[in-house]
Amino acid sequence: MMIESVKGFLKSEFGTNLDKATEQEVYYALSKTVMSQIADQWRKTKEAQSTQKQAVYLSAEFLMGRALGNNLMNLKLYKDIEAELSELKFSLNALEEREEDAGLGNGGLGRLAACFLDSAATLDLPLNGYGIRYDYGIFKQYFKDGFQKETADHWLKNGDPWSIRRENEAQIVRFSDGDIKAVPYDTPIVGYDTSTVNTLRLWKAEPLEPFDFELFNDQEYDEAVEKKNRAEDISRVLYPNDSEEKGKILRLKQQYFFVSASLQELVAKFKKTHGKHFDKFPEVYAVQLNDTHPVVAIPELMRILIDEENLSFKRAWEISRKTFAYTNHTILQEALEKWWVGFYKELLPRIYELIEKIDKQFVAELKHAGYEKAQIEAMRIIKDNMIHMAYLAIYGTHATNGVAALHTEILKDQELKEWYALYPQRFQNKTNGITQRRWLKLANRELSDMITELLGNSNWAKELSDLRKLEDYKSDEAVLNRFLAIKKAKKIELAEYIKEVEGIEIDPNSIFDIQIKRLHEYKRQLLNAFQILNLYFDLKENPKLDIVPRTFIFGAKAAPGYFRAKGIIKFINEIARKVNNDPDVNAKLKVVFVSNYRVSYAEKLFPAADLSEQISTAGKEASGTGNMKFMLNGTPTIGTLDGANVEIVEEAGLENNYIFGLKVEEIEAIKESYDPVAVLESNPRLKQIVETLIDGTFDDGGTGMFKDLYDALLEGATWHTADNYFVLQDFDSYVAAQKQVDADYRDRLAWAQKCWMNICGAGKFSSDRTIKEYANDIWHINRIDV
């Protein structure tokens, strides 16, 4: 049936047939066939949800990854289509590889949003996403002489069969320098084993007029399309470089653009059903602000209600506050978004007026509550000519949540303690989660099939807590050996892919020690690099040293303007060059920095990992979700007691993971007196390692990158103290933990049991559980049977 539809699309779209079609054409035709199959359920879902309260997820990022395999799996058609295609001499896996990742995110924030949408659809909950349809994703990464280089991520170059343009539902977004048309593109979010198909609506920025015909006729060609280009810039690239003023203004335009378009649509839909009874608006829509990027939604909804619907400021404020909730994703003060008031005054003068009024109202409330002047100044939304978006978010919403138990406690006790003291009832914890459908059922089909067999009639793909029942097999040698065989097979698959893509051979019999995440100093890829050098020097001193061969795999992108992060990438690639080309050590050590880390690459890396590196400085990682994906695939964690690591070891057992380093309270106790120079002087090996940054061992091409890393560790900078992330302090503890890994890995069944217990404990970390908590505690939405 579906293959007949594929043939029809091949004929209508490409004028060809199955015998002559390319893989790209078959991929496209199969995707369009799936779209046609779900069209009726998609329409019915929208109709069913239109009469019930809905949740709206506003996010600057949605890191969706590939859609074909995930949708076929959720429709429970994957194996059937795979078999049908095989008979026709096509590989479904090869067709999946033809799909470009929709790289509309930079890391955990965007991937979390994608997992949430999957979970809500699977749970039949009315949650729809709103964001920006970027023409180009974050960027495609490649390495030249070990340096990160960026090129455009043109994910739409072969078209997008998974979205539908809704020209008739376009909105007009008004800036002081001109109006922009926001055109929505809808992508279906297919729930697993259910009839619900939710929607991700992404807005594309376009000019009101495509070009100036008169100027074109006058042969002023550049001027004729200038307005078009400036309009389209808004949705051209995810996170454009904002090191200069033009970049900052563009980012602000992006934030307001998708927020304004989304809220205008919600208000218009509300009015069709409820007229002007706007006090009911929070009973119809619950809007979640995913971090601070969409926080301008608070004054924007008020602008619409006050200026266009003639409500009073007070009434608009109460409606807005009851509608919105805010998720905080960071503990880092420097990452709490702030905007210079001049940008708002220039670009969004009316929005700035409203933020001023909100700030004045807040000050009056604090005075009435007996706060002293100094306390008020510290908490003001506008201070020092900056708008503090996190403060606006907490004041302007009815709920603020952290994303891991430790993260939420740090927010309450340290970073936002004044706010918690003021609004204790507004603070909640919602520990992040991941969708087990993509990250186990699709990415690791062999392990998924084994779990299904062992659990019998369990629907663990929808009830991940059932994994706890696998503890019955924790001492079953046949089960553990079968698990080890699956892990070995996934390692071989990854090794073959790395050989094909990176041109590097790695040994599947070695320990695959993997750190994959955004490149940031607090995530401490540098600490990992130092440990690799420690092993390297050990082997150079004693080539016969008995260690289990180890392959260190990194995957990470550094923001284009983040000089130090790029320096860490270059440093790791220099280590790789030295280690991989040294015959004294390369039989026991290999280092690979995979290029262009993304969702589809991650789906190959997580199942193949032997060790999960989660080594951020304690108290800096809000949650982490990569740690959960490793755990779900049976990989022990080596990490600090940070973010969700705390809950991971609670669920899987401390004895089945490798915890090292300073705890949050220990860092607090020593940070004022901490002397990294003294640490270095007392540790000759560590000093030898750190000195490689400046002694000529490695070459940074004259960029000064390595000297900058050295200075950051020992001298600090204007914006941070020396060794701000305690890399040197935690080094010895990390090395000891890594030695324990080496010792434990040798006992294969005991190691397999550690891996198995991580799988057993992964049930808590389903995004299904997280979404249920949001639905019950914050959004107050109910399941809708479509």
310-343 confidence digits (pLDDT tens): 999 999 999 999 999 999 998 877 778 999 999 9
Q: Which range is least confidently modeled, 228-237, 274-283, 534-543?
A: 228-237
Q: Per-residue confidence at 217, pLDDT binned at 50, 70, 90?
A: confident
Whether 70 has a pLDDT exceeding 90, the answer reads yes
Whether 221 has a pLDDT exceeding 70, the answer reads no
Name the pTM for this structure. Answer: 0.96
Q: What are phi and psi of 192, to 5 degrees?
A: -80, 125
Residue 338 annotated as catalytic: no
Residue 329 annotated as catalytic: yes
The pLDDT score that the predictor gives to residue 333 is 73
Mean pLDDT of the chain: 96
Q: Which residues contact 384 (CB under 8 A, 6 or more apart)?
A: none
**What is the tens place of the pLDDT at every residue in 94-109?**
999 999 998 798 888 9
In angstroms, the CA 489 to CA 406 distance is 36
Residue 44 annotated as catalytic: no
Q: Per-residue confidence at 224, pLDDT binned at 50, 70, 90?
A: low
Whether 189 has a pLDDT exceeding 90, the answer reads yes
> Quick one: average pLDDT of 566-572?
98
Residue 517 annotated as catalytic: yes
> Quick one: average pLDDT of 140-159?
96
Pick the closest to residue 360 from 420, 317, 409 (CA basis).
317
Assess whether the region 2-146+155-432 and the region 478-662+731-771 belong to the same CATH fold: yes
In angstroms, the CA 167 to CA 570 distance is 45
Single out the catalytic residue among 33, 122, 323, 625: 625
> Quick one: average pLDDT of 190-218?
90
**What is the tens place of the pLDDT at every residue in 437-460?**
999 999 999 999 999 999 998 999
Domain segments of the chain: what residues? 2-146+155-432, 478-662+731-771
**What is the tens place of the pLDDT at every residue in 691-748?**
999 999 999 999 999 999 999 999 998 888 999 999 999 999 999 999 999 999 999 9
Residue with tokens 């294969």: 748
Single out the catalytic residue among 517, 590, 604, 764: 517
> Quick one: average pLDDT of 542-560?
96
Q: Are 652 and 658 in contact (CB under 8 A)?
A: no
Whether 598 has a pLDDT exceeding 70, the answer reads yes
In angstroms, the CA 84 to CA 785 distance is 32
Single out the catalytic residue among 629, 637, 692, 770: 629
In angstroms, the CA 514 to CA 610 distance is 8
> Quick one: average pLDDT of 575-585?
97
Single out the catalytic residue among 227, 518, 604, 754: 518
Q: Which range is least confidently modeled, 24-33, 239-248, 450-459, 483-492?
A: 239-248
Topology given in CATH for the domain delimited by 478-662+731-771: Rossmann fold (3.40.50)
Q: Per-residue confidence at 145, pLDDT binned at 50, 70, 90?
A: very high
The pLDDT score that the predictor gives to residue 218 is 79
Residue 194 annotated as catalytic: no
Residue 323 annotated as catalytic: no
User: What is the percent of the chain with per-residue pLDDT over 70, rounded to a whole number?
Assistant: 99
State the CATH architecture for 2-146+155-432. 3-Layer(aba) Sandwich (3.40)
In angstroms, the CA 532 to CA 585 distance is 11
Q: Nearest 5 degrees, angle CA 514-CA 603-CA 9?
A: 160
DSSP state, residue 179: E
Q: Which residues contact 786 (CB under 8 A, 6 or more apart)?
A: 41, 44, 45, 48, 124, 194, 195, 196, 197
> Quick one: average pLDDT of 596-600?
96
Single out the catalytic residue among 111, 293, 329, 490: 329
Q: Are 335 and 350 in contact (CB under 8 A)?
A: no
The pLDDT score that the predictor gives to residue 106 is 85
Whole-number Cα distances in Å, 694 to 660, 688, 697: 28, 11, 8
Single out the catalytic residue among 98, 412, 441, 523: 523
Q: Are 63 and 114 in contact (CB under 8 A)?
A: yes
In angstroms, the CA 109 to CA 59 distance is 9
> Quick one: average pLDDT of 341-349?
97
The pLDDT score that the predictor gives to residue 225 is 72
Alpha helices in 560-672 (DSSP H): 563-580, 599-608, 626-632, 645-652, 664-670
The pLDDT score that the predictor gives to residue 718 is 85
